[in-house]
Structure 1
Amino acid sequence: MAPSAGRSDDARLRGAATKRARSRAAIQAAAAEVFAARGWLATRVEDIARAAGVSTPTAYNHFPGGKQQLMGEVYRPLVDPLLSAADAAIRSRVDPFEAVRAHVSALAQLARRHQRLTEALVIAVGEQTAKVGRPTVPDPSDIRIIVPLTAPLTQLLEYGQLARAFRDYPPAADTSSYHTNAILLRVFSRPDETPQDTARIALSQLIPALDR
């Protein structure tokens, strides 16, 4: 093959990869806007594809898990700072109680700042759980795998248990799941509540359960 032909093939491959990346980014950005505007129940993949300027099959080609996967990809970047903050607190040996308080406050702020997306996320997770039960295998299209909502608090609780600051029981994962879900559900039950009040209520129940 002539060198020019090889360069031409490389250029076509790069162009195709760039086009695919742009399409994926456009679909994800459109999903964030549509979910925030319409909520979970009123949103269809067709609506997201139209807003992104692509066909519905193209949207499914990028996100074969459909609405569930799209919701996960939209919300995951919002959770990443919570994961980073938990890692930083553990590395810096921050007091476990202070680290938990900071995380709960940050999660409440996140849930309230992105209230419509949080509402959509909670419904999506509930639907997925009702449909297939607990995730049993790694599934890259399962919203519960994509969005590790309980992971930061689980890490902080395990850190506190290892430091002998927190009770060993219940297991960190169970405590994290219970209290993280409680915070998110207050978006529904108390839609006008401030993030500060949400955090205060959550911590009033969580901290006594941790203290040895």
Structure 2
Amino acid sequence: MDLLERLITIFAQNGYLAVFTALMICGAGLPLPEDVTLVAGGVIAGLGYANVHAMFGLCMFGVLLGDSAIFLLGHHYGARMMRWRLVAKVLTPKRYAMVQEKFDRYGNRMLFFARFLPGMRTTVYVTAGATHRVSTVRFLLIDTLAALISVPFWVYLGYLGANNHQWLMKWMHRGQNSLWLLVALVLLVLLVLWWRQRRQRTNDC
């Protein structure tokens, strides 16, 4: 709660620029939770310091820009990044090897679900870039689809709970589980749509 309160104060005083800067810090893998940052952005919108829809758009842009920067660093510098002092603190050789093995096994699915795994996100994106098996366009597409679930969830949660912190904290604690349920629901809907489209094609033939 202390971190959330501090972010709300900073964001209320400095507006959209402060939110964007915080999201760049999150994207760099530094210890600032993205979900708390997004909620704080939603809260200041709920308190009247920003427009919630503009905040959502800004947060989407900030999140995707930060993710893309990490991916492109991995793409251009690969395993050499492991020797950078700042990167080495976040991306240990053991973690890099583990994620590389998972990425080789699961590929695009790993990229999608990484957005919902805060402790692994940076490592997965660096690894995806370093393997050169994912194009920048494909990365952006997968990351955008995942962000369209997570970003509005946290921003609008903050907006709705701006004047009721007890309710907000309760749903923040429930948030990760609720977010996974939302992901499952979206995937189920996509699966049903795909199945119906395939069945329609079969009937047409």
Q: Which has the higher contact order (CA 8 A, sep 6+)?
A: 2
> Is TM more than 0.5 here?
no
Larger radius of gyration: 1
TM-score by length of 1: 0.28
